[in-house]
Amino acid sequence: GAVVSQHPSWVICKSGTSVKIECRSLDFQATTMFWYRQFPKQSLMLMATSNEGSKATYEQGVEKDKFLINHASLTLSTLTVTSAHPEDSSFYICSAEGPPNSPLHFGNGTRLTVT
């Protein structure tokens, strides 16, 4: 149980375009989801906390107008990278909180390449 599905698994886009990444909890409801970014050979950096029905909470240094987060239902959160640039190329991973006392469950990640 506690499966998190992330889509797409990889995407290549041109500079200046926007990309939407979906994160779904398949067999549980997640009022809170988290979005992480990981650059090569680095650890996961928390970008924002996505709360169902309310505004996301962004970590310091993360531009909320560039990384739009929508958590419209208990099973879906989306991250939109707007006006993407090559420096936004990274591995984006979502995670969701499952039942009490359970670990954070991660999606399989989305590798974004901006050309």
Q: How far is the CB of 44 from other proteins (least distance, A)?
A: 5
SS3 state of residue 26: coil
Instruction: State the nearest-atom distance from the C-beta of 81 to other proteins, in Å.
Output: 18
Residue 103: CB minimum distance to other proteins, A: 4
**Using omega within 30 degrees of 0 as the cis cutoff, is the peptide bond preceding 40 cis?**
no
Identity of the residue, 2 or 82, whose beta carbon is nearer to other proteins in the bound complex: 2
Contact residues for other proteins, defined by CB under 8 A: 6, 32, 34, 36, 42-46, 49, 91, 93, 95, 97, 100-109, 111
Strand partners, 113: 12
Residue closer to other proteins by CB (options 74, 104) is: 104
**Rounded to whole angstroms, what are the CA distances from 97 to 30, 64, 66, 72, 87?**
6, 22, 25, 16, 29
Place of tokens 């309310």: 54
Nearer to other proteins, 13 or 59 (CB): 59
3-state SS assignment for residue 95 = strand
CB of 49 to other proteins, least distance (A): 6
